[in-house]
Amino acid sequence: MAQRDKQPPPQPPPPLVQPKPKPKYEPRPVEKVKDPIISQIGDFRRYQLFFFLIIVLCKFGSGWHTLVHIFLAAPTPQKCLTENVTNACSKDCKNMEFDTSIFQTTIITEWDLTCRRHSLASMSQSIVMTGIMVGGMAFGMLADGWGRRPAFLLCCFMQLVTGLIVCVSPYFWFYCVFRFLVAVATGGTMTVSFVLIMEIIGPKKRELIGILYQIPFNIGHASLALFAYYIRTWRWLQFSVTIFSAIFVIYICLVPESPRWLLTTGRVDKSVKVLERIARHNRAPTETIKSEIEAAYQAMASKQPTKKGNVLDLFRTPYLRLKTILMANNWLVVCMVYYGVAQYIAKLGGDIFLNVLIAALLGIPGTLLCVVLTKYLGRKLTLMLSNGLSAIGLLLLVFLYKSKQLYQVICATVGLFGASITFPNVYLYGAELFPTVVRSNGMGLCSMVGRIGGLVAPLINELSWYGAWITPLIFGIASILAVLGTIFLPETRGMPLPETLDDGEKFGRKVKT
């Protein structure tokens, strides 16, 4: 039988070539600019918008905790029940009672802060302003030294815990201690949250976002009138403005470390990881991030060795020192004028809820106007005009202090409106003026100096007992001095943020030819 030829075994069919999966999105190119961070993630895209919206939640609490004292220590009339004695503070008055028709309880009624003890209520608010001053500086240094994220999370949860403890205060000194700690945390959230936002936003939208960031503070201030209108006991009012901070738990998952801080402190790999994650959210290319950030760091390191900044660095070189002093002076004046005139208007009589509501809502159009002015006129000219407007209104009040109450209210309102334009501008201007390595320190220092203005504002208001013209005169002169000092500051609109101390010294200095 013939041997059949062996047939080769059948070959398996060639494997099907799997087509490469299409990317979920087509990367949109990012415009390359001088700023290495913005060159990777874009000027202002979807991630920056999302980040802004979650961070500004903490600004509501800033407004509440800073100004809730208006209602915690609201004026509570008292009357003497002793026959033939009308003065409740007289030694002859053996029995007195509070008028609880408006507020059921306040810290005034809780601890009898009347007569010789009446100044203790004002002292407790001075303690709050001191706490905000300390917190802005302390958490600013912590943010520059150890990172924006840990400093931000710490002050957010500190605000929640200490605020709840205030609600159960058994003694007045206990109340003051924990209101101080709440204020320290509040000062930290004000400073660090603003720095976090500004460090990932490009110059095209920086002025808009930096100014809109202040509106939740105004809304928080205004909403206090509504809270207090429906909640007439001080402990539950304090609880209502504090419990909102529980939402800050979302920050643990949603707030990364600032890639700019990571880069300037030499943590290049971590900066790259954060930038790649942000770029994916922004549908931006990620392939070149690592190489470009490493190159940017090498260029930065070749100019000046990387080191952690501190507040003393703001005063080591002459031009940076001058800019720091002048910016701090603007903060001093705006806090003095804003808080002082707001209290002045509230004392003109009328419904306390309506007075607070109107004074707070006035800040919203001022903030929105600041957006337009800083965009088209720049930070410097806008700051000079707004301080000038405050000066005009307040100095007019010096000459009209004996006129009709309506004219006085109008003049004071003009002064307050000017300050409401100035307030968001100094946040924006300061964040653009200080270099990255000391930006939190610079903003913290300015916040501290501003709180000194807030501290002395009630004392300046007390001078009206010696002459009604003294208070607006001091506020008006301070506003004029702020205008004159601003002349020597450089414009920052549309400029890349200075990174190193050397950048901070050269920024705005005219080059000699």
- Annotate 67-81 with b (16+ C-beta within 10 A) or e (fewer): bbbbbbbbebebebe
Evaluate whether residue 10 is within a structural domain.
no
Query: What is the C-alpha to C-alpha distance for residues 355 and 91, in angstroms, rounded to an integer?
Result: 34
Evaluate whether residue 26 is within a structural domain.
no
The two tokens of residue 384 are 């000079």
Which pLDDT score is estimated for 353?
A: 86
What is the β-pairing status of strands 96-98 and 78-80?
antiparallel
Look-up: residue for tokens 């913005």?
Answer: 38
Which pLDDT score is estimated for 152?
A: 93
Evaluate whether residue 49 is within a structural domain.
yes
Q: List Cβ neighbours of 102 (8 Å cut-off, separation of 6 or more).
A: 74, 76, 232, 352
Residue 78 per-residue DSSP state: E
User: Alpha-carbon Rg of the chain, whole angstroms?
Assistant: 28
38-76 pLDDT tens trace: 888 888 888 989 999 999 999 999 889 988 988 898 878
Indicate the pLDDT class of residue 15, thresholds 50, 70 and 90. Answer: low
Closest CA to 472 of 434, 418, 428: 418
Which pLDDT score is estimated for 8?
A: 62
The widest CA-to-CA distance across the chain, in whole angstroms, is 145
Evaluate whether residue 15 is within a structural domain.
no
Look-up: residue for tokens 């799997």?
Answer: 18
Indicate the pLDDT class of residue 394, thresholds 50, 70 and 90. Answer: very high
328-359 pLDDT tens trace: 999 999 999 988 887 777 666 667 788 778 77
Look-up: residue for tokens 């806008």?
Answer: 382
Domain range for 495: 38-73+113-505
Query: What is the C-alpha to C-alpha distance for residues 362 and 365, in angstroms, rounded to an integer?
Result: 6
Q: Using the predicted structure, report yes or no on whether residue 483 has a pLDDT greater than 80.
A: yes
Q: Using the predicted structure, report yes or no on whether residue 396 has a pLDDT greater than 90.
A: yes
pTM of the model as a whole: 0.79
Which pLDDT score is estimated for 513?
A: 44
Which pLDDT score is estimated for 235?
A: 94
Count of structural domains within the chain: 1
Look-up: residue for tokens 């004996």?
Answer: 402
Mean pLDDT of 130-157: 88
Quick check: 424 and 213 in contact, CB under 8 A? yes
Quick check: 314 and 321 in contact, CB under 8 A? yes
60-118 pLDDT tens trace: 998 899 889 888 988 788 888 877 777 778 777 878 888 888 889 999 889 988 877 87
Which residues make beta-bridge pairs with 288?
none
Query: What is the C-alpha to C-alpha distance for residues 139 and 155, in angstroms, rounded to an integer?
Result: 8
Indicate the pLDDT class of residue 438, thresholds 50, 70 and 90. Answer: confident
Evaluate whether residue 379 is within a structural domain.
yes
Residue 430 in 3-state DSSP?
Answer: helix
Look-up: residue for tokens 């002076």?
Answer: 329
Residue 233 in 3-state DSSP?
Answer: strand
Evaluate whether residue 348 is within a structural domain.
yes
Mean pLDDT of 1-11: 57
Evaluate whether residue 166 is within a structural domain.
yes
Evaluate whether residue 19 is within a structural domain.
no
Query: What is the C-alpha to C-alpha distance for residues 462 and 459, in angstroms, rounded to an integer?
Result: 5
For residue 390, what is the domain's CATH number? 1.20.1250.20
Residue 21 per-residue DSSP state: P
